[in-house]
Structure 1
């Protein structure tokens, strides 16, 4: 199998991959973004535990801030919802001084983390949310302090409710704890809920960057599953689970509620007034008179940091979605991260990773070019066979197989390295696209962000040039003028595709081509010494 056909195979696989991505997006369309008047921070499940509908209510002006070394949270004391979360370690845009805002309550885009108590003695009722009392309007995790607790209180009918937001140093996991102290003469029945609310929006992705924005969840028998806004509109999710979480994702970042209940919780979704909701209801708790009970849920609000997410909840790290080639992408990401921890620069780590991958494939590459050279040598015999047998295809096939067996040639020997390289390429594509570590990570010179396309298209053009050189150096058995034109056009087509790919991925392919050129030269020289000529 000659090199041109190998390149064609790459192109077909590559285009098929892109077409699959586009088909998947077209088959699961997301509703368009809805710009509307921001509703209150107090949207709760559509009905309370006693079956009464919950009404909407305007956002209060009583806001407090909670600051740590990595988070800046804004909390509305009307219900105690987190209505804004700034990630202090991540820029909003490249070279921006403003931090990235994950949760927000803007006029055109509402995305908040809500929690409360419903039930017979719940403080989130059909009449509205409770106005919680707090000792100050600003709280900061001080130097040397590892944990900060911010309590907000409310009293009603002899029952004291304390909602405490707990943050820790260098952590994106926020605990929300309800303490119910019942000093009345009657049992108190409450149920904690925690949900995420966001405008129904499209995924915001593109053909070369098919990112996902929408819901996801994990339950007893489901480690990880996406549940898009479109799914929410089609059918409300309603699952009982002993362990799991409910989340909303947007490319490099995720927000998730994890219930900390000993008994089964209920996972649900719903849509209302242009908003999508995904959340959990914890089991109903009865607090007997003269006693106190605590209910807790954890909110992850931050980047997709796999180790920290795995430590926060089972399977939460799976929101770093590597697709169906996760078993290749995950170890590639781990290896890339290990290399980066040594060399510091992510671009240099990609280059080293490329040499490692291509070095591991060298025996297959050598077999590929040896097979190509042998096939080239057999061309005169094959041509004579065609002239002798004419249109007798069955006999032609039989004699060709006998010739291959006699000469110890595998006609498919040149395909295997290509078939192996494509899954590695696609897996690395997902690994680079899903790695928040590469977001705004510079290489050198004009490459300031390896997760974005090359602003001057230098890397894609160099990649196309190296592909053209590989094509020229490779042996060819193609004599048809049309096929020759198609093969000549391949580097141009690939260059066009790579213009819009993340520069980190283009860097990998460029270095891979350079390694191929080096290996080709060495292998052909070795074959020439053995009397096997590639040309």
Structure 2
């Protein structure tokens, strides 16, 4: 197998990967709901297990009446958050350190309400047979804290409401430099009867697609739930629409989330306490995921306290794992996770020393090249020898003509005599395929690459080169490599080989600049290595000829 077959195999494998990757990542594209029916504001949803949450039902997000409420905006060094006193729910989150995918002068808006819906709620619900209306997302709360701008290390935003004998004081604690929000409820029974409430934590989302992303590689946009028993489970909005979602229904651990490209919103309830998980359609073009935890009996005059962590921000693996060791699973590398995670760990370590993700990719490429040097060196030696004997091979073809059997036998004898491995030319390219595909997943899924510059015109390694300079360099280096390899004797094959750099270059036009950077550096290193090996082989051959004269 010579270099032309290697290239063709690479194209085939790469194409299969792209088809498989797109199928995996976007198997069930979410479509706008077109049903003409409307959902009642009192829509009943599947109840939690009676043993878990007292046979309660989580209210629909649409079940908010037109009560007067107030929007409260608070700011930290990483957030501009908007709370609605109706339900004390979080209805808008601007991530001020991450620019919008389309307009870099504006911050990324993760949570919002209005034309698009992506909000976070929590509240109390009672047993369905008692028809209790405890403070929840359709209850008007009162803001009791004064400070709205973070001036120290933490900022407490406190709301209070009372309904059906229960008073809830909810405290959102924001921390400097953190996207984690501590959410605590103090629940006091002010009635004369024992109360048995359950608390729910909820994320509500419509079908809208986030901006940005790579056109050729759709990323996951949907709910995910984790439990130690069932591990990481995705639930798409399309599965909810079809009522075909399969996920863990109760667990004493884990978390719930909504994942989109580079960002995530997640609730992490208090661990060690049983909670039910509900994922459902919550209205027309509206979907919700929630956990429901029974708080037991609260006697008259007694109180109960709950604590949970809410994450609204980037898929920062290091920060996420500090909240829960499994929360970094929201960074979705797909079926290449077993390779992508070690690669990202190595890149993070290199970046801690280098300080630039572009140069980190360059150094990573050099390290990979050094690691694979023995195998690739043997391959380049084989290709150099193939090039040296190409005149003799052409003579054999002319000698045997259409007699393929005799030609193949003569060629195999020549390979044996010259100690050439005809499969050797495949290795340099085949060895790069898993590295290339793994780096592709790392660049696509790691928020650290978003907005990360390299040099000059490359200001974001996660998107394509704006001037297509790197793809052009890649094509040039591939052409140069072709010239260093044996020329196929068949003119048609030779023309096909010359077209290959154009094909790959065109494919790379819309790929992340970081990925093209890896390929360019790898090509340059391969050219240097192949030139060095070929020169030494030719030098040794000339010395041997002079010795025998």
Q: Following the alignment from structure 1 to structure 2, what is the Cα–Cα distance between the partners of residues 401 and 302?
A: 61
Matched residue SS, 1:154: strand
TM-score, normalization: structure 2? 0.86
Query: 1:310 maps to what in 2?
Result: 321
Structure 1 pair 177–479 and aligned structure 2 pair: CA distance change class (3 A): same
Q: Does 1:349 align with 2:356?
A: no
Query: 2:547 maps to what in 1?
Result: none
Q: Does 1:270 align with 2:280?
A: yes
Are the counterparts in 2 of residues 62 and 76 from structure 1 also a CA contact under 8 Å? Answer: yes
Query: 2:156 maps to what in 1?
Result: 149
Question: Structure 1 residues 129-138 or 397-406, which shifts more?
Answer: 397-406
Q: Following the alignment from structure 2 to structure 1, what is the Cα–Cα distance between the partners of residues 349 and 172?
A: 35
The aligned runs of 1:377-392 (5 Å cut-off) are 380=392, 384=396
Are the counterparts in 2 of residues 450 and 504 from structure 1 also a CA contact under 8 Å? Answer: yes
Matched residue SS, 1:18: helix
Structure 1 pair 531–233 and aligned structure 2 pair: CA distance change class (3 A): same
Q: Following the alignment from structure 2 to structure 1, what is the Cα–Cα distance between the partners of residues 541 and 394?
A: 19
Q: Following the alignment from structure 1 to structure 2, what is the Cα–Cα distance between the partners of residues 336 and 513?
A: 20
Question: Structure 1 residues 44-53 or 482-491, which shifts more?
Answer: 44-53
- Which of residues 241, 250, 260 in structure 2 aligns to 1:250? 260
Query: 1:31 maps to what in 2?
Result: 31
- Which of residues 75, 86, 95 in structure 1 aligns to 2:94? 86
Alpha-carbon shift at residue 192 of structure 1 (Å) = 0.9
Q: Following the alignment from structure 1 to structure 2, what is the Cα–Cα distance between the partners of residues 412 and 349?
A: 33
Q: Following the alignment from structure 1 to structure 2, what is the Cα–Cα distance between the partners of residues 254 and 397?
A: 58
Alpha-carbon shift at residue 240 of structure 1 (Å) = 1.0
Query: 2:75 maps to what in 1?
Result: 67
Matched residue SS, 2:465: coil
Alpha-carbon shift at residue 195 of structure 1 (Å) = 1.4
Matched residue SS, 1:282: strand
Q: Does 1:436 align with 2:447?
A: yes
Query: 2:494 maps to what in 1?
Result: 484
Alpha-carbon shift at residue 386 of structure 1 (Å) = 10
Q: Following the alignment from structure 2 to structure 1, what is the Cα–Cα distance between the partners of residues 443 and 300?
A: 56
Q: Does 1:182 align with 2:189?
A: yes
Query: 1:340 maps to what in 2?
Result: 351
Alpha-carbon shift at residue 105 of structure 1 (Å) = 0.8
Q: Following the alignment from structure 2 to structure 1, what is the Cα–Cα distance between the partners of residues 109 and 429?
A: 42
Q: Does 1:474 align with 2:485?
A: yes
In the alignment, structure 2 segments of 5+ residues that lack a partner are 49-53, 544-549
The aligned runs of 1:40-59 (5 Å cut-off) are 54=59, 55-58=63-66
Query: 2:169 maps to what in 1?
Result: 162
Q: Following the alignment from structure 1 to structure 2, what is the Cα–Cα distance between the partners of residues 265 and 501?
A: 42
Q: Following the alignment from structure 1 to structure 2, what is the Cα–Cα distance between the partners of residues 505 and 371?
A: 28
Matched residue SS, 1:329: helix
Q: For residues 51-92 of structure 1, give each alpha carbon's deviation from its aligned partner in whole angstroms, at most 9, with x where no partner exists.
A: 679434247431222322222221111111110111122122
Q: Following the alignment from structure 1 to structure 2, what is the Cα–Cα distance between the partners of residues 122 and 169?
A: 41
Are the counterparts in 1 of residues 184 and 305 from structure 2 also a CA contact under 8 Å? Answer: yes
Alpha-carbon shift at residue 256 of structure 1 (Å) = 0.8
Q: For residues 270-325 of structure 1, give each alpha carbon's deviation from its aligned partner in whole angstroms, at most 9, with x where no partner exists.
A: 11211121221123522123322112222111101101101112321011112222
Query: 1:447 maps to what in 2?
Result: 458
Are the counterparts in 1 of residues 147 and 157 from structure 2 also a CA contact under 8 Å? Answer: no
Q: Does 1:529 align with 2:514?
A: no
Query: 2:235 maps to what in 1?
Result: 227
Q: Following the alignment from structure 1 to structure 2, what is the Cα–Cα distance between the partners of residues 475 and 389?
A: 20
Q: Does 1:7 align with 2:3?
A: no
Matched residue SS, 1:509: helix
TM-score, normalization: structure 1? 0.88
Q: For residues 143-167 of structure 1, give each alpha carbon's deviation from its aligned partner in whole angstroms, at most 9, with x where no partner exists.
A: 3xx3333222223454322122122
- Which of residues 113, 117, 125 in structure 2 aligns to 1:118? 125
Query: 1:139 maps to what in 2?
Result: 148
- Which of residues 283, 293, 297 in structure 1 aligns to 2:304? 293
Q: Following the alignment from structure 1 to structure 2, what is the Cα–Cα distance between the partners of residues 386 and 318?
A: 60
How many residue pairs get aligned? The number is 527
